[in-house]
Amino acid sequence: MTLEQIQNTVSYIRSRTDFEPEVGIILGSGLGGLVDSIDTRAAIDYKEIPGFPVSTVEGHKGRLIFGMLGGRKVVAMQGRFHYYEGYTTQQVVFPVRVMKFLGIRYLFVSNASGGVNPNFHTGDLMVITDHINLLPNPLIGPNIPELGPRFPAMNDAYDPALIAKADEIAAQEGIALQHGCYVGGTGPTYETTKEYGYFKAIGGDAVGMSTTPEVIAARHMDIPVFGVSVITNVGLSGEKSTHEEVQIEGAKAAQRMTRLFTKMITNL
């Protein structure tokens, strides 16, 4: 993806709306319900946006929503793109780069994930404190200097100040939070028992099929990131997962995640 392609897409979106968002939000499987809390000012289907891939996964609506949440201007991706759909990781992160040029100063990401930590339970919210990326790095290829440096640092990939704010708000609101490291893999298979054991051994607390490329792209562009995983099953418990169950558990936890995101955005 070139700088010109990003700028062309930004120009198209600006021809559809003059709304200038401060915060970008990416919603994972079964978590699209957060958009119901957004006072929507404009919505554009991905299929209408030049350069955007199209969501092919059930539970991912495929719309860019512009509006107000917690008194702030936001743009929300109702549905994301995945490497397992056949897209490159450069295509997967293209919308993050577009959101940066639309004006976002923070990125909030969410996903549905399998719990690796045996202390987790289905329906838990895990604040992502770090990640292990097992997907192709989206920065492979020529660097675009206008976006960021050739070798960006990834320590504090998830902003410590935002994590501290989340803990403070969660305590006030009575929202239980777990904390941990997210492992991003390719999918589309759910993990074997041995794979879950491996992810635990290397320091993972939850595993999914998204998020890490988007966070890498955001940090390359110096955007602070806050991330939450909704634990939709616990892998080492012997539970078997279906995509339908993931969506159901995601929807149940989405209300708590929406409260957390809204209060945090209000307090930015």
Active site residues: 29, 60, 82, 84-85, 112, 209-210, 233, 243
Cβ within 8 Å of residue 48, ≥6 positions away: none
> Which residue type, as a one-letter code, is found at position 229?
S
Query: How does 79-118 read in b/e, with b if 16+ C-beta sit within 10 Å?
Result: bbbbbbbebbbbbbbbbbbbbbbbebebbbbbbbbbbbbe
Cβ within 8 Å of residue 193, ≥6 positions away: 235, 236, 238
